Amino acid sequence: MKTRKWPNFLFKQGGMYPYYESDWSVLPPEANRRFNPAFNMATIKQVVNEAIERVRMPTPMRLRDLIRQIRAARTAAEERSVVNKECAYIRSTFREEDSVWRNIAKLLYIQMLGYPAHFGQLECLKLIASSRFTDKRIGYLGAMLLLDERQDVHLLITNCLKNDLNSTTQFIVGLALCTLGAIASPEMARDLAGEVERLMKSPNAYIRKKASLCAFRIIKRVPDLMEIFLPATRSLLSEKNHGVLITGVTLITEMCENSPDTLEHFKRIVPNLVRILKNLILAGYSPEHDVSGVSDPFLQVKILKLLRVLGVNDVEASEAMNDILAQVATNTETSKNVGNTILYETVLSIMDIKSEGGLRVLAVNILGRFLLNNDKNIRYVALNTLLKTVHVDTSAVQRHRSTILECLKDPDISIRKRAMELSFALVNSQNITAMMKELLVFLEKSDAEFKAHCSSSIVLSAERYAPDKRWHLDTLLNVLVASGNYMRDDVISSTIQLISESVEQQGYVTAKLYRALAEDLHDRQPLTQVAVWAIGEFGDSLVQDVVDGIEPPNVDDVIELYQKLLWSTQNSVITKQYTLMSLTKLSTRFNNTSKIQQIISSFCSSLHIELQQRGVEYSQLFGKYSHLRPALLERMPQMEANRQTDYQSNGDVSDNEVSPQRTANSESVTLLDLLGGPDDNADLDIIMQPKSQPTSNGNNQDLLDLLGLNPLPAPLADADNNVDRILDNNINNLMPEINTRNSNFLNDGLFGDEGTINETDVPELTAYDKNGLTVMFSLVRLPNSDNMTINVTSTNHTQMEITDFLLQVAVPRTFQLQVLSPSGTTMQPNGKVTQVLKIVNTSRNLLKMKVRLSYTSEGSSIQDQVDVNHFPPDIWD
């Protein structure tokens, strides 16, 4: 095209140009009639070249400029102003006839940017009505973009279309058909169906194919009009031209889907279709229709689809196509997407028609091969198709189970999703153990968005196909561990229910749950909730029975774990409620209750009202009402609910579960008043943030106000009782715990040799020593001054790295405290962090201090708090 210098018409008579059929690029020398050497050749050449350039550089300068301007706009507002200016200009120049098509071109560009351009509709019609092809071409393009079947200028455009459908220029007819195919409204379709039908019989293939698709579109809009086209349709299949063939097949497919009668009518063409398809496969290489070694895949796919429509539920028709489907399935080159496209369509057809068993196996095997394909798109369609066919022929799909399971590891998320759905569809009582192994691995590694769906599906499958209770419980346990927090609530209750039902397995499950919990304290609310429920119920067997040859944990370890759970900031309030309830229950299962009591009473001052209430009420069970405790905290009766029913039953279960707590609650509601209400106890959580700047006094007031109150939690009133028990047990073990309480005067006296209080002349003391972490204070005081500097040295004696170490300190209001930045937040094993505290004591009171520590070790974050009250009393002297 671009090499041609002289337009044909210079050498021809004007009129119609049959370019399409003839080879347009060859200049027939005998057509050189108009050429007149008398003209100045140079002038003519220049004028002609300029004219051609205007077309070849198809966007006229003004449009190019506009596009450039819009592209240069840096902000949306700038772009808008360019567009608005241009729209105004276009409106004003629509009246000048010769600029119309340029304006429409501009408008179409503006419309694509998302601006309204409907005011150009009538101008489009003007262009369409023009006699020039150039005008019509852009006019119809504009009509297709600016109008659609809901516009009311239809009467006008219908007339234009009718004229152009009768044009003698094939391209004008083509434009009209194309436009009708794009924007045919029902009225337009009715008005022009006759014209289209006439054009379907045109001798010109270019027009025939366009008319067929136009008919396709008309039938889609107005199914009643189908009858008109029926006679002209059948002959389309005897064509050689692939364009006419493919449009004919498309039209017939639409007709068949449209009415059962027509479907019956076209059953006769199955042999024709089979023949066309066979010719396509067997014909040698034809460059015109070849796509990477496959002959016209577009046509093949359309024919396969029509065969499917004709063969559904029809044994006879299906039989007629069995052979050709087998042939396509075995002969198609599969190294490229095209080949697989055809195979894919073939498989769909084989699955839908009444095909032979062997052919179906072949089809499923093709999909199996697809699953191994490198192309992710092909793997995707394979999984999708298998998912559709799995209910028809499960056993054939089962054979590809391992490949499907492999797809669970696919890098593409949509493929993984399909593979997961398909895997669950394949689970049955024979393969459940093997499948679940894979699916649990998948669950563990999968993205958050899959976990809820996957865990619920595993629970459902396990419920349906579990070989035994032990396996079922193990599976649920694994789900709890693997899915973290991404789990539907029903899994928690149904797991608890199952544990409650499975009397023989309770000890085993509790031990497993305990181990899973102890292994990793990370944020996993569902696991924690189920685990503490089970431990609370069956804690006695947990610390006695040997499970799987592993020694039971000792009581102190269990309680320490509870303490960590309750202190962890990651655990939700609900989890902490479960944990508190469970811990209370453990007080009747374990023979060591003092530590439990201590932990529970620490919640008497929790900032969270529900936890505080539990703390206070459960504490009552250790005091005045301790005789009620064993009876109140008995094991839950075995839950009776129908498995595999609905969530209703699960709801009942959780109701049962909380009922003892409720009774306990109501019993002790009045006690709360006696205890003085929550306000008095609310100070425990008030701690100053360490800052490198001295904290302002005003800031401290409120904090220290609360700190100054510092009352004892009520249950500690029976301290005698407490000490007795402590003496019964391992004293050293409990030492640091005792320091955390305010009521440690007695204990300090008892265990004074353990601490540093007696060594008043050495200005160094241990503020904290627990879990391998020590915090030493060394006190330096300038003589005759109110100022004291405390050099804090924290040492990590564990084998693990401690990270995110944070030390927070609060002092009563009579002191001024300045906390300097620490030397770091990370401690290697045996590493140290130092920090300087500066204290001004004008009143010379006894120094008291609250210290809160938080740090992360082995991935779990730990928080602890101590009161440091054992400063040497003579330090200020």
Partner 1 sequence: MQFMLLFSRQGKLRLQKWYVAHPDKVKKKITRELITTILARKPKMCSFLEWKELKIVYKRYASLYFCCAIEQCDNELLTLEIIHRYVELLDKYFGSVCELDIIFNFEKAYFILDELLLGGEVQETSKKNVLKAIAAQDLLQEDEAVEGALRDIGLL
- Cα separation, 497 vs 650, in Å, equals 8
Residues 534 to 573 in contact with partner 1, rule: CB under 8 A: none
Which one, of 737, 743, 734, lies nearest residue 869 by Cα?
Answer: 743
User: Rounded to an integer, what distance in angstroms lies between the CA atom of residue 500 and that of residue 683?
Assistant: 40
Identify residue 341 by its one-letter amino acid code.
T
Query: Which one, 40 or 569, has the nearer CB to partner 1?
Result: 40
Using the minimum distance from each CB to partner 1, give the nearer residue, 291 or 712: 291
237 makes contact with partner 1 (CB under 8 A): no
Which residues in 839-858 contact partner 1 (CB under 8 A)?
none
CB of 149 to partner 1, least distance (A): 4
Site for partner 1 in 657-696 (CB under 8 A): none
DSSP 3-state assignment of 331?
Answer: helix
Instruction: Give min distance, CB of 137 to partner 1, in A.
Output: 7
Q: Which two tokens stand for residue 453?
A: 């769906």
Q: How far is it, in rounded angstroms, from Cα 538 to Cα 525?
A: 20
**Residues in region 371-410 near partner 1 by CB under 8 A:** 376-381
Minimum distance from residue 517 beta carbon to partner 1 (Å): 36
Question: Looking only at residues 114 through 133 of this chain, which bind partner 1 when binding is defined by CB under 8 A?
Answer: 114, 116, 132-133
Query: Could you tell me which residues are beta bridge partners of residue 863?
Result: 854
Q: Does 289 bind partner 1 (CB under 8 A)?
A: yes
Q: Is 53 exposed, middle or buried (0-12, 13-18, 19+ CB in 10 A)?
A: exposed
Residues 158, 233, 250, 500: which binds partner 1 (CB under 8 A)?
Answer: 250
Does residue 597 contact residue 619 with C-beta atoms inside 8 Å? Answer: yes
Which position among 110, 196, 213, 407 is part of the footprint of partner 1 (CB under 8 A)? Answer: 213
Partners of 835 in beta bridges = 792
Closer Cβ to partner 1, 67 or 840, answer by number: 67
- Work out whether 7 is an interface residue with partner 1 (CB under 8 A): yes
CA distance 408 to 403: 9
Across the beta sheet with 860-868, what order do the strands follow? 802-810, 849-857, 860-868
150 binds partner 1 (CB under 8 A): yes
Asked if residue 24 binds partner 1 (CB under 8 A), the reply is yes
Nearer to partner 1, 215 or 849 (CB): 215
Question: Where in 192-211 is the site for partner 1 (CB under 8 A)?
Answer: 206, 209-210
The least distance separating partner 1 from the CB of residue 600, rounded to whole angstroms, comes to 50
Task: Compare residues 214 and 707 and give the one whose CB is closer to partner 1.
Answer: 214
- In the beta sheet, which residues pair with residue 794? 775, 833
How many residues in total does the chain contain?
Answer: 877
Measured over all CA atoms, what is the biggest interatomic distance in the chain, rounded to whole angstroms?
132
* Nearest distance in Å: CB 280, partner 1: 11
At 729, the amino acid letter reads: N
Are 323 and 337 in contact, with CB atoms under 8 Å apart? no
Residues 401-460 that bind partner 1 (CB under 8 A): 411-415
> Among 197, 345, 537, 864, which residue sits at the site for partner 1 (rule: CB under 8 A)?
345
Nearer to partner 1, 116 or 231 (CB): 116
Site for partner 1 in 626-645 (CB under 8 A): none
- Spell 90-108 as b/e; 16+ CB within 10 A means b: beeebeeeeebbbbbbbbb
Q: Which stretch binds partner 1 (CB under 8 A): 81-89, 337-345, 508-516, 717-725?
A: 337-345
Burial (CB count within 10 angstroms: exposed 0-12, middle 13-18, buried 19+), residue 288: exposed
Cα–Cα distance for residue pair 236/219, rounded to 1 Å: 17
Tell whether residue 19 is a contact of partner 1 (CB under 8 A): yes
Buried b (16+ CB within 10 A) or exposed e, 322-338: bebbbbbbeebebeebb
Whole-number minimum distance, CB 273 to partner 1, in Å?
16
Q: How far apart are CA 103 and CA 94, in angstroms?
A: 7
Asked if 350 is part of the footprint of partner 1 (rule: CB under 8 A), the reply reads: no
Residue 399 is classified by DSSP as T
Does 624 engage in binding with partner 1 (CB under 8 A)?
no
Q: How far is the CB of 83 from partner 1 (least distance, A)?
A: 14
Q: How far is the CB of 106 from partner 1 (least distance, A)?
A: 11
Instruction: Give the nearest distance from C-beta 413 to partner 1 in angstroms.
Output: 6
Q: Which of 233, 341, 579, 681 binds partner 1 (CB under 8 A)?
A: 341
Q: Which is nearer to partner 1, 143 or 561 (CB)?
A: 143
Number of other residues whose CB lies within 10 A of the CB of residue 266? 23
Report the distance separating Cα 537 and Cα 797, nearest Å. Answer: 36
The answer to whether the Cα torsion of 387, 388, 390, 391 is positive or negative is positive
With contacts defined by CB under 8 A, name the span among 104-112, 609-617, 641-649, 695-703 that binds partner 1: 104-112
What's the count of helices (H) and strands (E) in the chain, helices before strands?
38, 10
CB distance 614 to 581 below 8 Å = yes
Residues in 28-87 that interact with partner 1 by CB under 8 A: 39, 43-44, 47-48, 50-52, 54-56, 58-59, 64, 67, 71
Contact stretch for partner 1 (CB under 8 A) within 14-22, 566-574, 665-673, 742-750? 14-22
| Binding residue for partner 1, selected from 11, 89, 171, 876, defined by CB under 8 A | 171
Which listed range, 105-113, 474-482, 808-816, 860-868, lies at the site for partner 1 (CB under 8 A)? 105-113
Query: Smallest gap, in angstroms, from Cβ of residue 212 to partner 1?
Result: 8
The correct pick among 91, 162, 202, 243 for binding partner 1 (CB under 8 A) is 243
What's the Cα-to-Cα distance from 857 to each of 524, 541, 558, 826, rounded to whole Å? 17, 30, 18, 10
Tell me how many residues contact partner 1 (CB under 8 A).
94
Q: Least distance in Å: CB of 79 to partner 1?
A: 11
Whole-number Cα distances in Å, 750 to 35, 732, 800, 829, 867: 127, 12, 33, 32, 18
CB of 180 to partner 1, least distance (A): 9
Report if residue 698 touches partner 1, rule: CB under 8 A. no
CB of 390 to partner 1, least distance (A): 18
CB 567 within 8 A of CB 863: yes
Choose, by CB under 8 A, the member of 129, 178, 636, 840 that binds partner 1: 178
Question: Of 23 and 753, which CB lies nearer to partner 1 in the complex structure?
Answer: 23
Q: Which is nearer to partner 1, 415 or 684 (CB)?
A: 415
Tell me the torsion sign for CA atoms 337, 339, 341, 344.
negative
